[in-house]
Amino acid sequence: MAMRCPTCGTMYGDEARFCTRDGTRLAAFPAAPVAAAPAAPVAPVAPAQTARAASVSGERHTSPRVADSPAAARSGASSHANMTGQVLDRRYQIVRKVGEGGMSYVYLANDVATQERYAIKILSPALSKDQNAMARLRREAALGIRLAHPNICHIVRMGETEDGLVYVVMPYVEGEILSDRNYRVGKTTLEDTVRFVGEIASGLALAHQLGIIHRDLKPENIMICKRADGVEYAVVMDFGLAKERKAGGELQKLTATGIILGTPEFMSPEQLRGKPLDARTDIYSLALMTYEMLTAKLPFEGKNQQEMMIARLRNDPIPARNRRPELPEKIDDVLLKGMARALEERYQTAAEFAQALRGAVA
C-alpha cells in the first residue's frame, strides 16, 4: 500500500510514516475510510488499527478462529495457536485469539473466579526454550508488575503451566490508538491535548519514580480509551523496551537492542546518538508527541529520514505557532523547552512538563 502526504500530495513507499517535506503524518493511498472502534476489540500492533489488547511486539491482527480439535490443541505449536475454549492454568477461560506473531499468540480471556477480562500472551515453545529471551521477559515482567497505574497497561503476572507453557497476563485495553486518532481528527483540541498529556505524564511519573524509562514513547504506543460517561483518557502501552536506569552489564546486553527498536521519529537526540538515557528522554518524546497532536506535523523537516534525524541533532524545532497561529503564545516556550537538545535544559520531570502545558493554555 502506497503512502501519501495529505498536505503536499507527495507519494511514498509503504515503510514511510511522515512526509520529509513538511513533517505531516502520511495516510494510506488510496485512503481507506476511517471506522469507529469495533464493538469486539482486537489486538493490533501497527498504525491504522483501532483497538489493542496488550503491549505485544510484532503481533499482527487476526480474525477470531475456533480452535482445532483437542488432539491438535495438545500438539506442539498448534496448542499455542488454537487455545480458544480452553482453560489456561485452571484459571483463565480463553475466549478468542486477538493477535499473533512469530513468537507468541495473544488471547482475550476471562478470569474463571472474578470474570475480569485479560489479554494473555502465550509464548511459542521455541521462545520458551530461549534462555536469553526468557531472561529478558522475566525482567520485563518484574518491571511491569510494579507499573500498576490507571494510565499504564501493565503486566499483571507471568506464569508457567505444569507442561511448560509460559504466558504473560495483562489488562485488556479497549480503545483507539493515538496515531489513528491523529489521522482521524487532524489537529487535536487544546483541551484534549492537555488532558491526554497530563494522563500520559501521570503514568510516566510512576515509572520514572521506580527508575524505569519507556524508551519508545510514540502515538502508536498510546491508547485512547473511553470511560462509561464517554470521557476519553490515555493509556501508555508497550513498556517492552522499558529499562531500569541502574542496570548491570548482563542486563545491558539483554536490552541493548532497545536503541535499535526505538522509533526514529520520536527518539530523543541522546537516544539517536546511543548515549545513556534517563527519564528526560521520555519527556522529549512526550513533547514531540504533543507538538504533533497540536499541529498534525512533526517539528523538523528534511529530504529524507536521515536528514530529519540530523535536524533533530542540530536544529531547533519549527515553532508550533508557525503551523497553527491560533495557539497560545506560551505554547512554543513549553514545547521548545520540552524538546531541548541538552538534557539539563529540558523539563526534568513529566509532571513538570504537563503542568507547564496546562499553564500555557490557561
Task: Give the active site residues.
Answer: 216
Are residues 303 and 336 in contact, defined by beta-carbon separation less than 8 angstroms? no
Distance (Å) of CA 15 to CA 18, 47, 50, 296: 10, 11, 20, 19
Q: Cell 480509551 maps to which residue?
A: 225
Q: Cell 526454550 maps to which residue?
A: 129
For the chain, the C-alpha Rg in angstroms (whole number) is 21
Cis peptide before 171 (omega within 30 of 0): no
**Does residue 148 sit in helix, strand or coil?**
coil
Element (H, E) at 237: none
Return the C-alpha cell found at 202.
Answer: 501521570
Are residues 115 and 89 in contact, defined by beta-carbon separation less than 8 angstroms? no
Q: Which long-range contacts (CB under 8 A, 24 or more apart) does 95-98 make?
A: 96/64, 96/65, 97/62, 97/64, 97/65, 98/41, 98/42, 98/43, 98/53, 98/61, 98/62, 98/64
185 contacts: CB under 8 Å, gap ≥ 6: none
Tell me, what amino acid is at 228? A
What distance separates the 2 farthest-apart alpha carbons in the chain? 66
